[in-house]
A and B are shown apart, each in its own frame.
Chain A
Amino acid sequence: MSDNNPVTLSTETVLADSKPPESQGRLILKRFLANKVAVGSLILILVIIGFAISAIGLGPIPGWWKYNYTGLNDQVNGGTPTLSILPKWLGGTGFQVGEHPWGQDRIGKDYFAMTMRGVQNSVLVMVIIGLMATVIGVFVGAIAGYFRGVVDAILMRITDVFIVIPALVIGSVVGHAVGGFGAATLAVMLGFFTWMGIARLVRGEFLSLREREFVEAARVAGASDARIIFRHILPNALGTVIVAATLIMASAILLETALSYLGFGIRPPDVSLGNLISSNQSAFQTRPWLFWWPAFFIVSLALLVNFVGDGLRDAFDPRHRRFKLRRMQEERPSLAEDEQVRAGDDDDIIDAGAK
């Protein structure tokens, strides 16, 4: 930097040095990837899904595990788990998998295969509910928020009607009706009753986004309503939608397992993590392993999905972390400035600062 005109010079240097500005999507991706917990959770979810599918196969394709979830087998060792991971020098028997690593239930079904089937079903239900809720919710919310007025009033009152019924209650009734038709049908039907949260969120986003200049510009340029909604506004509301969809998926797992536990969800002979627990509940005193494995997978799946959702929220909406920023500003001014420059790319942060 020279002494006589530092400002101009430094600007020029910056302009010459800087790469082309990064896109919004890349910034979000970078922020997400920097979140170790969220990325780790995502990887773990994929590993669990891959493990569950490859172990017992999908549909007619067989997996690498020798038993399936319906076959009756001879009781080995009273059905206790044969898996052992305690090494010999600690008094265990060393690592061995054995016939039925996670034990057997009362009638001799292999519990590993059953749990894996339960995981598959839970993930299937989770994904379908998430997709259904997102599609319906975005559709209703976008139309209500974009057209406002009478359309908005009617759609939101319809949303209220569905919100009044607690999820578990309507889920029980729906599950009671269609639970026998398998996991996919159940999930699709439940999807019709879980979209309300997303609809409200999307409506709120649309109400504020539709007043912005770029929408005005698009309208002046002659874009149709559908084009403005889907090409101009929706991409800007995508963050909210993705985060809400992830969080809905986490609660979808809990809803499905709870319904299956009550007997209104997936029913025997098909297996769900919830009905594994309810059908073996009386045996927990004598065979606690029948409880621990399904419980472990329910909690892990829900927890990991929640972590991913939280990571996505932080990535899409750095406002969420403004308390951290403020504290950093107080403690380390240089770092805070850096943060602000980075955040300056995102115009949302300016709104938050002005509040």
Chain B
Amino acid sequence: MVSFILRRILVSVLILLAASFIMYMLTAYSSDPLADLRQSSSLNKEKLIQNLIQTLQLNVPPPIRWFLWLGGAAKCLIPLANACDLGSTISNAQVVDILPQAIQSTVQLVTGALVLAIMLGLALGIITALRQYSGLDNVVTFTSFFLFSLPSFLVAVLLKEFVAIGFNNYLEKPEIAIWVIIIIAVVLGLIVQSIIGGDGRRRLIVGGATTVLSAIVLYAISLSGWLLHPGLGPIGIFILAAGIGVGTTALIAGLRNRRALITAGINVVVAMVAYFSLQGLFDVSSSGTLVILGIVTVIVGLVTGFLMGGYDRGQSIRVGAITAALSGGLVLLDRFMQSWTTYFSDTNGRPLATVGFQTPNLGGDVWVSGIDTFTHFLLPTVALLLISFASYTRYARAGMLETMGQDYVRTARAKGLPERTVVIRHAFRNMLIPITTLVAFDVGALLGGAIITERIFGIPGMGSLFYAGLLRGDLNPVMGYFIVIAGMAILFNFLADLAYAALDPRVRVR
């Protein structure tokens, strides 16, 4: 194992070196950093050009300059020495200084998109696999083909030019037309009945109930102007949290497991108590307080699950933690919604942002700035998410069908396990193994795709750094970008290999 890891690291470093050389040569020979200056009309043009040649060492031929650059970059590997040197940009800023801020924006964007894509993609893939050849399956299959064929810049432009602006215009008079309500409600009903499955009667009842219920909710939203003054209120939180508790128990432990159900119930009650008692604390909270509260919430969930225990303690603990986290999230969501009106007026009634990663000069507490981050990252994240979402759905569906056909699943069924246990414990967990490889590839694709999304939404991340650098012939930021991207791609591939070996006992590393 150790020799495998060492060999892999050695090979990875060599690959990174070779790739960076190719990248350096291509960029150096394809662009001219002096082009801007040559066309300038300033009097000390010659002197400026000489200065730039000095700072960027342009008189050294690129292959040799690569070694100089590499020498500086190699210093980054010395821990704690702080001697990192990735060269400077044309405007004489150190790449090392501008890189961390850019990495932060991009990582925020890519992480959100990746996590959401994995969760939604897996959920949809599993559902369509379990309801193979249903109407929903066919629609999702076609949609994922469509998403495969949708370039990310098209989605981003569409979201920015039509959705963002359209939604902001819509908020001036937020009424939902009757026919829109009917269409949405009917579509929801159709989706839910397809997920539920079973015989015609059951489908009809569930689908019909969903349709009616969602129509009523939508009508109430439209009538009360909820989009301008959103909030859940204690009743809303209670209903939703109870739903989460029952749903989590049903998925993880089954409703027959009374102890797990009681665990979920306790956590819902705790969330309600927290809702009433914490409002005062929320008003003076900082993001640090929220992190502490979040940790406390999960611990409460774990502890209640542990204490309730029962014959399968692990199940109760999982149910407790998930219910606690989700219903705690509801309480937070409600508090964010309370600040929506403030944010709405701060942005002159156009909350959905199209440019940048924060509203300039926006004061306000953690809630308002939280909403601000949300409105700025929502659309870029969606645009990025759609790139990889379709492939997760396809792979999850294929993987689930594959595992559901395995002998151990038949054995599990034969020994009388409920279908829920078979799906969640036997099939689902084994289906996840090959997905690890997909995640590794996907990180690279998402980081590349971020170039486009960041450019369209004006987010100053690594993609923007690369784009601007390449346009100006600015070699060092391009290389700084590259070394981070390629490093991450290699790292994730390596991690995927290790995870694969750890998860699948059939795989042996040599």
Q: Which residues of A contact B (CB under 8 A)?
A: 157-158, 160-162, 164-170, 172-174, 176-178, 250, 254, 257-258, 261-264, 274, 277-278, 281, 284-285, 291, 295, 298-299, 302-303, 306-307, 310, 323, 326-327
- Can you name 13 A-B pairs with beta carbons within 8 Å? A165-B23, A167-B448, A257-B151, A258-B152, A261-B452, A262-B451, A262-B452, A284-B157, A284-B161, A285-B165, A299-B146, A299-B150, A326-B405
From 124 to 167 in chain B, residues with beta carbon under 8 angstroms from any chain A beta carbon are: 132, 145-146, 148-154, 157-158, 161-162, 165
Residue from the list A166, A167, A254, A261 in contact with B149, Cβ < 8 A = A254
A168 to B445 alpha-carbon distance, docked (Å): 9
B window 413-455: CB within 8 A of A: 444-445, 447-449, 451-452, 455
Contact indicator A173/B146 (Cβ below 8 Å): no
Chain B residues near A284: list those with CB within 8 A.
157, 161-162
Contact A164 B490 (CB under 8 A): yes
Indicate if the CB atoms of B486 and A291 lie closer than 8 Å: no
A159 closest partner in B (C-beta): B15
Given contacts A291-B157, A303-B148, 7 further A-B contacts (CB under 8 A): A157-B15, A161-B19, A169-B481, A173-B23, A277-B154, A281-B157, A291-B158
A-contacting 9-mer, from B24-32, B85-93, B200-208: B24-32
- Does A170 lie within 8 Å of B23, measured CB to CB? yes
* Chain A residue, CB-CB nearest to B150: A299
> Would you give the shortest CB distance from B75 to chain A, in whole angstroms?
22
Q: In the complex the two chains form, is B153's CB within 8 Å of A261's CB?
A: yes
**CB of B103 closer than 8 Å to a CB of A:** no
With contacts A173-B26, A277-B154, A281-B157 taken as known, whether A165 is within 8 angstroms of B486 at the C-beta atoms is yes
Question: B119 an interface residue at 8 Å Cβ cutoff?
Answer: no
Complex Cα–Cα for A173 and B470 (A): 7
Are B470 and A172 in contact (CB-based, < 8 A)? yes
**Is the Cβ of A307 less than 8 Å from the Cβ of B151?**
no
| Bound form: Cα–Cα A165–B15 in Å | 10
Q: Place the interface of chain B in its size category.
A: 35 or more
Residues on B with C-beta less than 8 A from A258 are: 151-153, 452
CA distance A299 to B157 in the complex (A): 14
- Contact (Cβ within 8 A) A164 B19: yes
CB contacts (< 8 Å) of A257 on chain B: these are: 151, 153-154
Nearest B residue to A168, CB-CB? B448
Whether A161 lies near B18 (C-beta < 8 A) is yes
CB pair A166–B132 under 8 Å, yes or no, is no
Closest-CB distance, B400 to chain A (whole angstroms): 10
B 15-56 to A, binary, CB cutoff 8 A, 1 in contact else 0: 110110011001101110000000000000000000000000
Task: Please give, as numbers and ranges, the residues of chain A lying within 8 Å of B5 by CB-CB distance.
Answer: none
With A176-B30, A176-B470 as contacts: A166 and B444 at CB distance below 8 Å: yes
Residues of chain B contacted by A160 (CB below 8 angstroms)? 11, 15
Minimum distance in angstroms from B70 CB to a CB of chain A: 16
Q: For the complex, is B489 an interface residue (Cβ under 8 Å from A)?
A: yes
Question: Which residues of the other chain, A, contact B146 by a CB distance below 8 angstroms?
Answer: 299, 303
Q: B180 on the interface (CB 8 Å rule)?
A: no
B14 in contact with A264 (CB, 8 Å) = no
| A327, B26: Cα distance in complex, Å | 53
| In contact, B485 and A166 (Cβ under 8 angstroms) | yes
Would A323 and B490 be within 8 Å (CB), given that A164-B19, A257-B153, A258-B151 are in contact?
no
Q: Is B401 interfacial (CB-CB < 8 Å)? A: yes
B23 proximity list for chain A (CB < 8 A)? 165, 170, 173
| Bound complex: CA A328 to CA B125 (Å) | 22
Closest 8 CB pairs of A and B: A177-B30, A166-B448, A302-B149, A303-B149, A168-B448, A284-B161, A161-B18, A164-B19
A176 in contact with B31 (CB, 8 Å): yes
**Complex CA distance for A168 and B451, rounded to whole angstroms:** 8
With a cutoff of 8 Å between Cβ atoms, the chain B residues found around residue A295 in the complex are: 154, 158
Among B11, B151, B489, chain A packs the most CB atoms within 10 A around the CB of B151
Q: Which residue of B lies closest to A260 (CB)?
A: B153
Please give the distance in Å from A157's CB to the nearest CB on chain B: 7
Q: How far in angstroms is the closest Cβ of chain B from A186?
A: 13
